[in-house]
Amino acid sequence: MIRRLPAIAAILALLCVVPLRPAPVAHASTSPLMLGAFLNDTAGNMVFDATTSDPTSLDRYASLVGRMPAIVMWYQGWGNNHFQTTMAAAVTARNAIPMIPWQPAVGAADPSAYSCRAVASGKYDAYMRAWAQGAAAWGHPFLLRFGHEMNGNWYPWGTGPGNANGNTPADFIAEWRHVHDLFASVGATNALWVWSPNVANGPTDSPFASDYPGDNYVDWVALDGYNFYSVKPHTPYLSLAQIYSTSYAAITALTTKPLIIGETATLEAGGSKAQWVSQAFLTDIPTLFPQIRGVVWFDMKQETDWRLNSSSTSLSAYQQVVASSEWQGTFSSTGAGPAAPFSASYAVRGQRSTFITGETDSYQVTLTNAGTSAWPAGGPNPVHLRIAFGAPGSTGLPGSTLYTDQGFALPADVAPGQSVTLNVAVSPPGAGTYALIYQAVQEGVAFFPQYHDSAVSVGTLGARYAPISQPVSWAKGASQTYQVSVTNTGSATWVEGGTYPIHLRIAFAAPSSTTIAGGTLYTDQGFALPSNVAPGQSVTLTVSVTAPATTGNYALIYEAVQEGIQFFPQYLDNRVSVT
């Protein structure tokens, strides 16, 4: 909620939250629950929200409420150009886990420059990479709450109707996945990704499912919601159960990822804050919302006094929560710690977005063991990387329609935290559009829950040849210069450089020959393209063709080739003589 852009207060004042009927009680939570806090209490000298913050603020807060929070949250906009290692270390030194809402554009001079599309385009990759490398170098788990409340319209990354940057849910998903994959590429697997929408509360929201980037890109989920009452005109006084009931049902139906309340608080006006706190923590959450693992309190005097010590009765009520047996949880004790036994992240380097039928494309994939168990390279149940072309929209290999499925072995066992880079040679299916899926598997046991996918196309090679003023006779051993127009009649772009460039081959062959690949050749010359050639485009080459040293009649064959891969299926052969 903190640091909204200037026009936000006016937008929020127009929203009206309708009281909701609490969901039926399913069962009480049996895991110990975590208490967390965002601290910005200047009057109480308890501020932990910037690199200049005094870490002993955390100790003063713990003394006030009765215990150190299990989660310590602070906000970081992109105006700060580094991962805040000192703050993170101060938190872990107190046996807590940091949670950082990472806010693209907050504090920036021009928030419109930070649309979802701009971030996904790679415009800010250099900044993000440096930040992620700092996080990776620190090395400890932390909760990364990137682009929170994305379903609203008040942030530059928001997708809600009327958002200022014209973002769509698809734009946000592309942004999230891009940032997630960038972190994986630099080994920042200690970042635990927290997808954190605002509770559904009006016409400025997008549906949760529209903004969800997928289980493979999310480690935790969170919900933000406040009892605003008089802060927003025409808003009723609401219990925590009324604020969260509908959204809790929606998010737990969407995913089974562990859930926390990312931000909440209530005000003194309109009812008893002490009673609200007691009911929320000791009744509503343990009994109505059994999937919730923790709650982060927004302890700041902002639109109103959200602080727990805004009154002695409110503070006393929270102290009773802190002392209760239900709220003794730590990050590891919740049952959803930083890594599962088998967990992987993928960094793909050199993969093209367009493949060509019949080729085998070679590139690299780096796998990082983000779990707690070593990956065996051999034995009865080895870990392999599987790469497959699946139907568009496929989400992982199990249950998907696959058109190819290749396995790649590990060169050696991979310990937790280590990475291995595999050289892979991938062969596509026929022409079309596909999801290219990467997923580790322990053979004979199970696929890893994480996978990486990208949308790719497979094109065909096709060419038409038109020699311009080609001679019909050569003197033996002589060269003659003329032009050849070549048209791309396939669906794949011809690439003039790289490992497998497209060349035009011209050869003198035996009169019975029709192709270079299967003919008896007496000369064979290659001519490079001046640039890439898109489907439907033509290029004119100036060629100097040299005749063989023996007189006679020949077939002069024109045939394009993807060097090192395959000849095109189309060719042209003309009858010529050498005298």
pLDDT digit string, tens, across residues 130-180: 999 999 888 888 999 999 999 999 999 999 999 989 999 999 999 999 999
Q: What pLDDT score does 382 carry?
A: 92
Q: Please give, one letter per residue, the 3-state secondary structure of 264-328.
A: ECECCCCCCHHHHHHHHHHHHHHHHCCCEEEEEEEEEECCCECCHHHCHHHHHHHHHHHHCHHHC
Distant-in-sequence, close-in-space partners of 256: CB < 8 Å, separation ≥ 6: none
Q: How confident is the model at residue 1 (pLDDT cuts 50, 70, 90)?
A: low
CATH fold of 344-459: Immunoglobulin-like (2.60.40)
Cβ pair 191, 183 in contact under 8 A: yes
CATH 2.60.40.10 spans which residues of the chain?
A: 344-459, 463-578
- The H or E element containing residue 242 is helix 240-254
CATH 3.20.20.80 domain range(s) in the chain:
32-334
> Is this prediction's pTM over 0.95?
no
| Of 182, 193, 265, the residue nearest 222 (C-alpha) | 193
Q: How many CB atoms lie within 10 A of CB 422?
A: 16
Residue 229 has pLDDT above 70, yes or no: yes
Q: Are 363 and 351 in contact (CB under 8 A)?
A: yes
What tokens does 535 get? 């489907």
CA atoms of 192 and 451, how far apart (whole Å): 16
**In the predicted model, what is the mean pLDDT of residues 313-342?**
78
500 in Cβ contact with 560 (< 8 Å): no
pLDDT given for residue 202 in this prediction = 67
| Predicted local distance difference test score (pLDDT) of residue 26 | 35
Among 57-61, 76-80, 569-573, the range scoring the smallest mean pLDDT is 76-80
Q: How confident is the model at residue 23 (pLDDT cuts 50, 70, 90)?
A: very low
At residue 153, φ and ψ (nearest 5 deg) are -120, 10
Single out the residue of 374, 343, 360, 578 nearest to residue 478, CA to CA: 578
pLDDT in tens, 427-455: 999 889 999 999 999 887 778 878 888 89
Rg (CA), the chain: 31
Task: Note the pLDDT tens digit of each residue in 287-296.
Answer: 999 999 999 9
pLDDT, average across residues 187-191:
89
- Chain-wide mean pLDDT for the chain? 88
Query: Is the pLDDT assigned to residue 16 strictly greater than 50?
Result: no
Pairing of strands 473-474, 572-578: parallel
Sequential DSSP letters for 163-183: -TT---HHHHHHHHHHHHHHH
Q: Report how far residue 65's alpha carbon sits from residue 41's, in angstroms, rounded to the nearest whole number.
A: 13
Q: Could you tell me the pLDDT band of residue 381, with boundaries at 50, 70 and 90?
A: confident
**Structure confidence at residue 204 as a pLDDT band (50, 70, 90):** low
Place of tokens 């929270």: 318
Judge whether 280 and 314 are in contact, CB under 8 Å.
no
Say yes or no to pLDDT of 411 above 60.
yes
CA distance 66 to 132: 34
Q: Indicate whether 3 pLDDT > 50.
A: no
pLDDT of residue 203: 66
pLDDT in tens, 349-378: 889 888 888 888 899 999 998 877 889 999
Task: Give residue 28's pLDDT.
Answer: 42
Is pLDDT at 482 greater than 90 in this prediction? yes
Query: Is it the case that residue 524 has pLDDT exceeding 90?
Result: yes
Q: Report whether pLDDT(345) > 60.
A: yes
Q: Does residue 7 register a pLDDT over 90?
A: no
- The model's pLDDT over 65-74, given as tens digits with 9 standing for 90+, comes to 999 999 999 9
pLDDT of residue 483: 98
Where are the strands (E) in 376-534, listed by range?
Answer: 383-390, 406-409, 419-426, 432-442, 446-459, 463-468, 473-474, 479-488, 502-509, 525-528
Token pair for 468 = 């311009």
Give the pLDDT score at 371.
77
b/e map 533-562, b = 16+ CB within 10 Å: beeeeebebebebebbeeeeebbbbbbbbb
Q: How confident is the model over 533-559, as pLDDT tens digits?
A: 999 999 999 999 999 999 999 999 999
Task: Please count the other Cβ atoms lying within 10 Å of the Cβ belonging to residue 414.
Answer: 21
pLDDT at 92 over 80: yes
| Predicted local distance difference test score (pLDDT) of residue 331 | 78
The strand pair at 406-409 and 383-390 is best described as antiparallel
- Helix 169-185 with 125-138: angle, nearest 10 deg: 50
- Report helix angle 125-138 to 85-92, nearest 10: 30
Give, in words, the CATH class of 32-334: alpha beta
List beta partners, residue 79. none
CATH topology of domain 463-578: Immunoglobulin-like (2.60.40)
Question: Average of pLDDT values for 264-276?
Answer: 95
Alpha helix (H) residue ranges in 420-473: none
